[in-house]
Structure formats: structure tokens, C-alpha cells
Amino acid sequence: MTELETLHRRRELVLLSAELQRATLARRISRVDANPARLALQFAARAVSVPLAWKLGSKVLRLAVRAYRRRSGKRGGLFAT
């Protein structure tokens, strides 16, 4: 076997290895995309709209402010008479 044949064979093996790696990655990606938990999370993320998140965030903020005012009111607060 000449050096040129050896190099040609090595090149074929490298190309075959690259094809196998590509196939493995494609299979893994398709399995991740088909995962039911991932599909459910994507659906839930799409279902929750920005206005809903805005409403929930403002409610939480209101509750926090109300609780803070209640606590600070017991100690006299800023403008206690």
C-alpha cells in the first residue's frame, strides 16, 4: 500500500466518521424536539401571554406594597401623628 493510498483511506475514514457524528446529532436533536415534556412547556409558554404576565406581576407588586404599608403602619410609619 503506497502512502497515497494510505492517505486516501484515512480521508475516507474521516469522512465516514463525520457522517456518523452528523447522523447521531440529528437523531438526538429530533428526540429532544419530540420530547412530550418539552412540547408541553412550549405550549404553556405560548399560552401565557405578556398581558397575563403583566397582570400577575402587578398583583404581586400590589400585595408586596400593601404588606409593607401594613408593617410600617404598626411602627408609626413616616407620617405618624
Question: pLDDT of the chain along its 81 residues, tens only?
Answer: 799 999 999 999 999 999 999 999 998 888 877 777 877 777 777 766 667 777 888 889 999 998 888 887 665 555 555
C-alpha cell at 42: 412550549
Task: Determine the Cα angle at 55 with ends 52 and 59, to 5°.
Answer: 140
Whether residue 64 contacts residue 57, with contact meaning beta carbons closer than 8 Å, is answered with no
| Calpha distance 76→70 (Å, rounded) | 10
10 alpha carbon, distance to own chain's centre: 40
| Calpha distance 48→57 (Å, rounded) | 13
Indicate the pTM of the whole model: 0.41
